[in-house]
Structure 1
Amino acid sequence: MTTQEWAARGVSGAPRAEGRNADAMAGAGHSDHALALELVRVTEAAAIAAGRWVGHGDEDSGKLAAVDAMHEHLNSVSVRGVVVLGAGGKRLPRGADAGNGAGPACDIGISAGDGALSIARDVPNALTAIVVAERGALYAPPVRYLEKLAVGPDYVDVVDLNRPVADNLRAVAKAKGVDVSDVAVAVLNRPRHLDLVRKIRDAGARVHLIEGGDIAGAVAVARPESPADLLLGVGGAAQGVLAAAALSCLGGSLQARLRPDDSGQGDPGHDFEAVLHNEDLVGGGNVLFCATGVTGSELLRGVAHHAGRTTTQSIVVSSPETVRIVTSEHRCEIEESREEYRSA
């Protein structure tokens, strides 16, 4: 049994009617509210499955459990989907069919765990996420990583990935009406970002290091309660597209460049200089993004287990600019054996 509390409001903070009737996909036979409920159940189930493994020393089993839960629950979602951004493995690879085949044709993007479910400790910023968009709308990156610049709606027109870091920080400070020293930049805590961190601090801004994955960090910059004003750095390519989908609904922006592999060599058939914008990463006007926290982050609380119940927190954003925060209480959860995934 699950009880859910929906907090729905527009990006501006003005009240918005719950269950707004707007098709999530072209030709959809139900509202975005109905599809959102179905997708929340998918990401909740995946987050709960992954959350059982956090800190237990087995990252792969956590991700496998999340993907299995997503696969099972997606089968009942009313869409005719194709996985464009897959969670990996045999269950939900790129090109797989998803949904019960009864609804609109759509692209689906999936992230199970986003980054790292720590094998040793409870690392924040892990979440499960899914994006549903019109067929052909989601960009499938030809590389593993993207260089990213994510901002909320107030700074979309003042930043440019081609500019030096210091110039972008000064532009954000001017738009915000503060000194550069009051600008905070979210950066994944990775060795590859040592030089980026130095540039940010040399410019006088503050660094907000994030662990786990960067979907939560990128989406959070478009939320009024975010501790960071923008996100910079290199992160997963598929995760970048999912974050761009959420930001496009929130009025924010994600600018990105394809990043060569670790050897520094790139396929000559790819343009590593071109800057990709929201409309390049997520086309079409109908997008629905849903994520559930596995571990806590700036965006969402993580899965919490109590006697006889489990609680989750999710965010759903959809066109046009609708935000729903979903707090759910799951009763009588059936605990699955960890041995099943260790032996898989």
Structure 2
Amino acid sequence: MQRRNEVAPRNTADIHTLEAVALAATCRAAVASYAWVGRHAQKAADAAATTAMREALADAPGRGTVVIGEGEKDDAPMLFNGEVVGDGRGPDFDIAVDPLEGTSFCAKDLPGSLATIAFGEAGTLWSPGPGFYMDKIVVPSPAKDVIDLDDSPERTLSKVARSLGKKVSELRVVIMDKPRHKDLIARVVAAGAAVQTPAGGDVGGSLAVLLPALDVDLLLGVGGTPEGVMTAAAVRALGGGMLGRLVPQREEEAAAIRAAGMSVERVYERDELVAGDAFFVATGVSGGALVGRPRKGGGGTVVESLLISRGQVRHVTHTIFG
């Protein structure tokens, strides 16, 4: 794990300024990628979102470093790990980013694609280096102290249910519908819990766990590390619980992790993934339960966003002109 710089708490003015920058970045990315909704062109949609987000971040006040991005993992357009954005005239800050989370949802015009970003104080967002995938557990606050990645799925369900004052049969669990999760899904269903199996989008699944109105109790399974760090920013801001551990999906990834001196055994807690003040922003692209898709109105394009920061969830509507 990388050493983190000791930094003074950022003042309120800095936070509000950077929140506005993050909202502008995701809003611009959402509008740009919305033009590709339903066109079955994932890379084109990703490129449009990334270009728009980079342009919005270029004028950010300060110096932002992309600690973890999607470029390496998906052989996608930039933003890449280590990229620096901003005008340099302001605070240093870390960025975790996926300009278009749920590219397949966007391409197929299915609900769930989002433009996403997280900002943290300089030196606070964990960098997984060459690790692209991680095993994750995300739970709401009452269950944050009972989770253990070494527990069996059945034991995890039992402990989480007890913490939430529920029966296992009352739990609703999100697990992405991937071949690697076939056994996990079968075991969770056999234990009696209900399972939602989206084709992708574990950021959206994690947010559903954190937002009581969406009636989800737990997220399990392997997803991307960029999504994991962004999720951790939201989890920390809302007091939820999260654990993560690198799980390479190819031998080249495993070899790169070993070469970097990193461990696939170590479990990272929420406050190691995000070790300081951070916030998360998501803007809707193809719509869904979290936020709606862009729509025409007020002489421009109306977009819906979620801003999760310091214990609060704000639903923000913006009109983008031009």
State the TM-score, normalized to the length of structure 1. Answer: 0.83
The CA distance in 2 between the partners of 1:180 and 1:29, in whole Å, is 42
RMSD: 2.2
SS of 1:113's partner is strand
Matched, 1:64 2:55: no
Q: For 1:179, give the aligned amino acid.
A: K
Identity fraction in percent: 36
The CA distance in 1 between the partners of 2:80 and 2:122, in whole Å, is 17
Matched, 1:181 2:169: yes
Could you say which residue in structure 1 is the equivalent of 2:210?
222
Aligned residues: 307
Which of 297, 312, 315 is residue 306 of structure 2 equivalent to? 315
Unaligned runs of 5+ in 2: 1-6
The CA distance in 2 between the partners of 1:177 and 1:134, in whole Å, is 36
Contact 1:187/1:207 (CA < 8 Å) preserved in 2?
yes
Contact 1:149/1:255 (CA < 8 Å) preserved in 2?
yes
The CA distance in 2 between the partners of 1:54 and 1:175, in whole Å, is 40
Contact 1:311/1:327 (CA < 8 Å) preserved in 2?
yes
Matched, 1:304 2:288: no
Could you say which residue in structure 2 is the equivalent of 1:34?
17
The CA distance in 2 between the partners of 1:184 and 1:324, in whole Å, is 24
CA distance change for structure 1 residues 236 and 265 in 2, over 3 Å: closer, same or farther? Answer: closer
More helix by share: 2
Matched, 1:245 2:233: yes
The CA distance in 2 between the partners of 1:168 and 1:304, in whole Å, is 41
**How big is each residue's C-alpha offset from its partner over 1:107-138, in whole Å with a ceiling of 9 and x where there is no partner?**
11111111423475213221111111121111
CA distance change for structure 1 residues 192 and 91 in 2, over 3 Å: closer, same or farther? Answer: closer
The CA distance in 1 between the partners of 2:88 and 2:190, in whole Å, is 54
Q: For 2:173, give the aligned amino acid.
A: V
SS of 1:210's partner is coil
1:120-159 equivalent positions in 2, closer than 5 A: 121-141=108-128, 142-159=130-147
Could you say which residue in structure 2 is the equivalent of 1:212?
200
SS of 2:197's partner is strand
CA distance change for structure 1 residues 149 and 27 in 2, over 3 Å: closer, same or farther? Answer: closer
1:1-344 equivalent positions in 2, closer than 5 A: 26-28=9-11, 30-88=13-71, 91-118=78-105, 121-141=108-128, 142-263=130-251, 266-267=254-255, 268=258, 269-284=261-276, 286-305=277-296, 308-318=299-309, 320-330=310-320, 333-334=321-322
Please report how far the alpha carbon of residue 177 of structure 1 lies from its aligned counterpart in structure 2 after TM superposition: 2.0
Please report how far the alpha carbon of residue 314 of structure 1 lies from its aligned counterpart in structure 2 after TM superposition: 0.8
Contact 1:140/1:238 (CA < 8 Å) preserved in 2?
no
The CA distance in 1 between the partners of 2:266 and 2:199, in whole Å, is 28
Q: For 1:278, give the aligned amino acid.
A: R
Please report how far the alpha carbon of residue 180 of structure 1 lies from its aligned counterpart in structure 2 after TM superposition: 1.0
Moved more, 75-84 or 44-53: 75-84
CA distance change for structure 1 residues 52 and 191 in 2, over 3 Å: closer, same or farther? Answer: same
Please report how far the alpha carbon of residue 208 of structure 1 lies from its aligned counterpart in structure 2 after TM superposition: 1.1
The CA distance in 2 between the partners of 1:279 and 1:194, in whole Å, is 30
Unaligned runs of 5+ in 1: 1-23, 335-344
The CA distance in 2 between the partners of 1:38 and 1:238, in whole Å, is 19
SS of 2:281's partner is strand
The CA distance in 2 between the partners of 1:309 and 1:53, in whole Å, is 18
CA distance change for structure 1 residues 289 and 118 in 2, over 3 Å: closer, same or farther? Answer: closer
State the TM-score, normalized to the length of structure 2. Answer: 0.88
The CA distance in 1 between the partners of 2:10 and 2:139, in whole Å, is 31
**How big is each residue's C-alpha offset from its partner over 1:188-247, in whole Å with a ceiling of 9 and x where there is no partner?**
122221111101011110001123321111122111112310100111111101101111
Moved more, 170-179 or 257-266: 257-266
The CA distance in 2 between the partners of 1:63 and 1:134, in whole Å, is 27
SS of 2:254's partner is coil
